[in-house]
Chain A
Amino acid sequence: MPHLRHVRIVSQEKLAERTYRLRLICPEIARVILPGQFLMLRLAGTNDPLLGRPFALYDTWGDDSSSPLGVDIVYLVVGSMTSRLCTVPAGSVVEVWGPLGRPLPAFSELEQVVLVAGGIGQTPFVAYTHWLLGSRGYGGQAARPQARRVLLYYGVRTAARLAGLTDFQTAGAQLYLASDDGSVGWHGSILDRLQAEQPAGPLIGCGPEPMLKALARLARQWQRPCWVSLETPMACGIGACFSCVTRIGTAHNWDYRRVCVDGPTFEAALWHDAFSEQGSDAPLGSTGA
């Protein structure tokens, strides 16, 4: 049962340029959270910034994966909240509620899964790789292999932004890198590399919206199962505010769905925004408002 908790920071570690790993002690959340779910985190004792922000589970930590002691999140400093968060010292308390949202898709006896990450969108994929390969259990369940191989296609602006490579290697992912400036891996976008190499298996993407739209269209072209994990502006994370909506296909046309409770992961084929421009068509049966 998710609750608001005052949670203590164990450590903050810089992983890459403007990228930090925050380790939190929260056994109640750590015991039940699954890869792909997220937490809302808010700075204590201030009204500016006012709202919590969503952060994906990076991984659980603790001696025994069946009873972990806490969670790690990894974040990029982008705005007022994260620029303050990275200065909060170990031992401080932050406000956390979760776990929230639905997990990434589970499989059984799959040959290969392809994860596609852009920028800070790699963060849900460490725990997910462990989960898929059965090297770590989550949600109080024993580790169970769901796939034989996990490929991570991971694109960044520049090599200095690569974060968590050793964690992915430890988890057992095979890495395929790309950078916009050619400083590491393939010179160009990760989608270009994916398109050139066409690895087999379902595609699961997380990253900037234009990248995810391109991935969804590519998956449709390849007739490949595909899921995208979205991030939209969120006020509450629990389904109360109706801020974080995205357009998801319905039996008739589309409707706004809340990313926090109906997502954050959606079947790419149902993600209406990937296949049409915003506002270009109205849902059937709407009042035109």
Chain B
Amino acid sequence: MIDLSVQLGRLHLRNPILVASGTAGYGRELADYVDMALLGGFIPKTVTRHPRPGNPPPRTVETACGLLNAIGLDNDGWDYFWQHHWPHLQTLPTAVILNIAGKSEDEFVELAADVARRGVGLAALELNLSCPNVAGGLDFATDAERTRRIVRRCREVCPNLPLIAKLTPNVTDITVIAAAAAEGGADAVSAVNTYLGMAIDWRQRRPRLGNVTGGLSGPAIKPLALRAVWAIARRRIIPVIGVGGIATMDDVMEFLVAGASAVQIGTANFYDPSVACRLIQDLPAAIAQLGTSRVRDVIGTLQTPE
């Protein structure tokens, strides 16, 4: 019997495989493909204070082994979420981690305080500090001091829920931001959100995305995300949830060995909607291959030259 459970600060998960925010809707969309009773956790699409129509289409374009997106946090807002999505999410037999984005520090704090009141049964709160596709910029996690302040203030108003900061890779040194999140009181960081990129139709001399630029995800960014996770994990700054192009058992194991305590499956849900459950079913055999019976014994065991 392989013990798949992992601990990230105050967050306990029965297994380390989660479904990433923005890649599985609000739980109903993947119902035919994903057995929620197997998932380590489910993270619904980012919720904001006010409804947001999102960016003009085209919102996605495929690039080499990757997906460039600029959805723009399309969602029906806070009140709608609690009325229409939360009652369903509450029934899911898995750890539900709410993902929120504020337009300002104060709005993050306002939302986090409301989560503390209404989010009975939530497993954790993930702060989306890193959406690259919103005019005016919601990528707070490009600045260590803002990251620290937002995390600290959210922790103050929502003290009983494990807190996860989702970080952008579009920075010079992600370990500095991860350290700021740790100092602010986060239990873990999710690393990484998408890499800024663009695609151009040169014949028309036009960008291929309605938003001009977007965020790159999928297998194309996996080595980049893996490096970012390892950079944070090797310094033992804070528990890391690895995310970025994870689609196969090898990908999962690489991230665990690099030091991720859990992983999120993102873009792969789009082209292989049942992938997360398959990976969970295959995980024990992969762990056993390393001669151990606990996932925890695999995390951060990368051996590098002296």
Instruction: Mark A residues whose CB is within 8 Å of B.
Output: 1-4, 42, 47-52, 95, 97, 232-233, 235-236, 238-246, 255-256, 261, 278-279, 282-283, 285-287, 289
Contact = CB atoms under 8 A, between A and B. Distances in A.
B100 to A, nearest CB: 15
A278 B267 CA distance: 28
B271 A51 contact: yes
A276 B210 CA distance: 17
A47 B251 CA distance: 14
Contacts of A232: 57-58
Nearest to A241: B270
B23 A50 contact: no
B66 interface: yes
Contacts of B219: 47, 50
B71 A241 contact: yes
Contacts of A246: 57
B32 A3 contact: yes
A245 B75 CA distance: 12
B272 A245 contact: no
A235 B270 contact: yes
A239 B273 CA distance: 11
B33 A233 contact: no
A239 B72 CA distance: 16
Interface in B34-68: 45, 50-54, 56-62, 64-67
B53 A289 contact: yes
A278 B22 CA distance: 25
B168 to A, nearest CB: 18
B29 A238 contact: yes
Interface in B236-271: 247, 267, 269-271
B269 A240 contact: yes
8 contacts: A232-B58, A233-B58, A235-B67, A235-B271, A236-B270, A238-B32, A256-B53, A256-B54
B185 interface: no
B74 A240 contact: no
Contacts of B135: 289
A279 B54 CA distance: 12
Among A51, A232, A282, find the residue whose CB has the most chain B CB atoms closer than 10 A. A51
Given A50-B219, A242-B74, A236 B57 contact: no
9 tightest CB-CB pairs across the interface, nearest first? A236-B270, A243-B60, A239-B29, A235-B270, A240-B29, A47-B65, A240-B25, A287-B50, A243-B59
A232 B56 CA distance: 12
A4 B29 contact: no
Nearest to B134: A289
A256 B135 CA distance: 18
Given A238-B30, A289-B135, A4 B74 contact: no
Contacts of B270: 51-52, 235-236, 240-241
B190 to A, nearest CB: 18
A98 to B, nearest CB: 10
A245 B210 CA distance: 12
**Interface of A: prevailing SS:** loop
A242 B59 CA distance: 8
A52 B66 CA distance: 12
Given A238-B29, A289-B72, A289-B134, A50 B218 contact: yes
Interface of B: 22-25, 28-30, 32-33, 45, 50-54, 56-62, 64-67, 69, 71-74, 103, 134-136, 218-219, 247, 267, 269-274
B273 A241 contact: no
Contacts of B134: 289
Contact of A95 (B67, B72, B272): B272
B80 to A, nearest CB: 12
A3 B34 CA distance: 10
Contact of A287 (B52, B61, B273): B52
B58 A289 contact: no
A236 B59 contact: no
Nearest to B45: A242
A52 B271 contact: yes
Nearest to A4: B274
A235 B59 CA distance: 10
A40 B52 CA distance: 28
A262 to B, nearest CB: 12
A51 B74 CA distance: 21
A4 B59 CA distance: 24
A38 B221 CA distance: 30
A8 to B, nearest CB: 18
Nearest to A49: B62
Nearest to A238: B29
A42 B271 contact: yes
A48 B66 CA distance: 8
B273 A97 contact: yes
A241 B62 CA distance: 13
A255 B80 CA distance: 15
Contacts of B74: 242, 245, 256
Most chain A CB atoms below 10 A, which of B61, B219, B270: B270
A61 to B, nearest CB: 24
Contacts of A278: 56
